[in-house]
A = this chain, B = another copy of it.
Amino acid sequence: MSRPPFQPVALVRRDASGQIARQLREAIAAGVWVPGERLPTEQDLADTFEVSRATAREALKLLSATGLVRSARGAQGGTFVSVPVAEQVATQLGEAIQLWYRAGNVTVQNVDEAREVLETICAGLAASRRTPEDIGDIQSAVEAAQDPAMSIDEWLDWDLAFHTAISRAAKNPILELAMMSVHLSRPATNTVFVDLLDRQQVLDQHSAITQAIIDADPAAARAALKNHVSYLDLVRRDALQSLEVDDVPLSQLPLKPARPQQ
């Protein structure tokens, strides 16, 4: 099976950089250039598409924004096809979810539900597939969070580390990515009530999840996680109620009336 050649299509004079980016993206998807391989130089691309180098550069910027290519200076430099790292993809996804939340397209309930079902699955899989390293990671995250003098931010970091370790132990990069994205989108949605949590209770729940994973007991892991999530849910409901906030709108963030989006 040989690789297809790159066949540029003449541009219609509208959004040149976008069209070039699209053609390059499709070419990469078709395997014209494989990860690690070098694309033509900016000048070559500019000549090929009959545009200026600046326009060709902007097309490459569009691709580099999603981590599809990366550039390097120097004599042996150039633009290389690269495989986006999970963190980058997850960050972008989390970003999008936060914007959706602020625009009212998703609710805290949506995010929490997604989190619950995804993490429940991951906990079950983790109990079946965890390696000794995974157990170590999970346990050290639990232990590190036991210091009662810890700041909220630090504590949240360890909480994230705990849940990240579980999703990694599930040994499925796709689910891990999904979990990571949901967690990364949570800062915008849970700032209201984090300091209302009882750390000791959370800690106990984390320990129960950990133990089930160590015991290789998927059903127990799922149950322990569901218990944890329902506690978080309870605290959030109480917090919202005490704030006398309606359950539906949820956007505590300032929202200016949005300009109609075309």
> Among the listed B64, B66, B260, which residue makes an inter-chain contact with A96, where contact means beta carbons less than 8 Å apart?
B66
Chain A residues 28-48 with CB under 8 Å of chain B are 29, 31, 34-38
Q: Dominant SS at the A interface?
A: helix
Tell me if B258 and A36 are in contact (CB < 8 A).
yes
How far is the CB of A13 from the nearest CB of chain B, in Å?
13
Residues of B within 8 A of A256 (CB): 34, 36-37
Count of this chain's copies in the oligomeric assembly: 2
- Do B35 and A103 touch across chains, with their CB atoms under 8 A apart? yes
| Residue of B3, B173, B182 touching A254 (CB-CB under 8 A) | B3
Query: Which residues from chain B contact A62 at a C-beta distance below 8 Å?
Result: 61-62, 64-65
Cα separation A231 to B3 with both chains bound (whole Å): 32
Size of interface on A: residues with Cβ below 8 Å to B: 68
A110 vs B63: C-alpha distance in the bound complex, in angstroms? Answer: 26
Q: How far is the CB of A106 from chain B (nearest CB, A)?
A: 5
The answer to whether the Cβ of A95 comes within 8 Å of any Cβ in the partner chain is: yes
Taking a contact as CB atoms under 8 Å apart, the answer to whether A173 and B61 are in contact is: no
Contacts A57-B58, A65-B61, A93-B89 given: A105-B117 contact, CB under 8 Å? no
Chain B residues, CB < 8 A from A252: 1
Residues from chain B with Cβ under 8 Å of A201 in the complex: none
- Do A96 and B89 touch (CB < 8 A)? yes
The stretch from A77-85, A138-146, A208-216, A241-249 touching chain B is A77-85
Whole-angstrom distance between the alpha carbons of A254 and B33 in the complex?
10
Q: Is A98 an interface residue (CB 8 A)?
A: yes
Q: A198 on the interface (CB 8 Å rule)?
A: no
Is A259 a contact partner of B102 (Cβ separation < 8 A)?
Answer: no
Q: How many angstroms between the C-alpha atoms of A255 and B36 in the bound complex?
A: 10
14 A-B pairs in the complex with CB atoms less than 8 angstroms apart: A31-B254, A34-B102, A36-B256, A36-B261, A37-B256, A38-B259, A61-B61, A65-B65, A66-B92, A82-B261, A83-B105, A84-B96, A84-B99, A92-B92
